[in-house]
Amino acid sequence: MSDRSQLIETGQPFNFDAQRDAEFERLIKRYPSRESMILPALWLVQEQEGWISAEAMAYVADRIGTFASKVYEVATFYTMYHLQPKGKYHICVCRTLSCYLLGKQEIVDYIIEHLDVRPGEVRADGLYSFEEVECLGHCGSAPVVQINGEFYENMTVEKLEELLATLQ
């Protein structure tokens, strides 16, 4: 699993665009505790930027009225939040028991060797990023791979190879 403790600072202040700002204002009225808004606010940041910078976390903390450390705790815990820019195709491989027992390591080894990208990295050309993640919730059809939010079950190296050929 990649190191999720390192935040990237852009040196640029973050603000929601008009669409996300309106959505934030609409959503925050639905939450009796403002801290409950951390998850959807981070999602809005990611929707806007594609990833979440240190400045965006500080912005979310300020908008919600909480400590930046609380936003950091949430953002670093959930692998659905991207803490660095991603490749055009972001590949997630589930690393939990069912996937491990049914061959996830062969898939991981294939990605590292054939796509030249290691867990937590973005390939130099920006085409692929790769991350091993905790449970993707498809234990009955393991191993599972997620690419840009789409799930691919009962994955094998051969199936992954065919799938990747369609992405270029």
Q: What is the torsional sign of CA 127, 131, 132, 136?
A: negative
Can you give the residue ranges of every domain in the chain?
18-77, 89-166
Determine what percent of the chain is predicted with pLDDT higher than 90. Answer: 86
pLDDT of 72 above 70: yes
Between CA 13 and CA 53 the distance in angstroms is: 10
Mean pLDDT of 120-129: 94
Res 22: pLDDT: 98
Binding residues for [2Fe-2S] cluster: 94, 99, 135, 139
Q: Does 3 have pLDDT greater than 90?
A: no
Q: Which CATH superfamily is domain 18-77 in?
A: NADH-quinone oxidoreductase subunit E (1.10.10.1590)
- Percent of the chain scoring above 70 in pLDDT: 98
User: What average pLDDT does the segment 130-137 reach?
Assistant: 90
What is the average per-residue pLDDT within 10-27?
A: 97
Q: Which residues are annotated as a binding site?
A: 94, 99, 135, 139
| Residue 160 confidence (pLDDT) above 60 | yes
149 Ramachandran zone, left/alpha/beta (phi>0; psi -120 to 50): left
**The CATH number, out of the four listed (1.20.120.80, 1.10.260.40, 3.40.190.10, 3.40.30.10), of the domain defined by the range 89-166:** 3.40.30.10
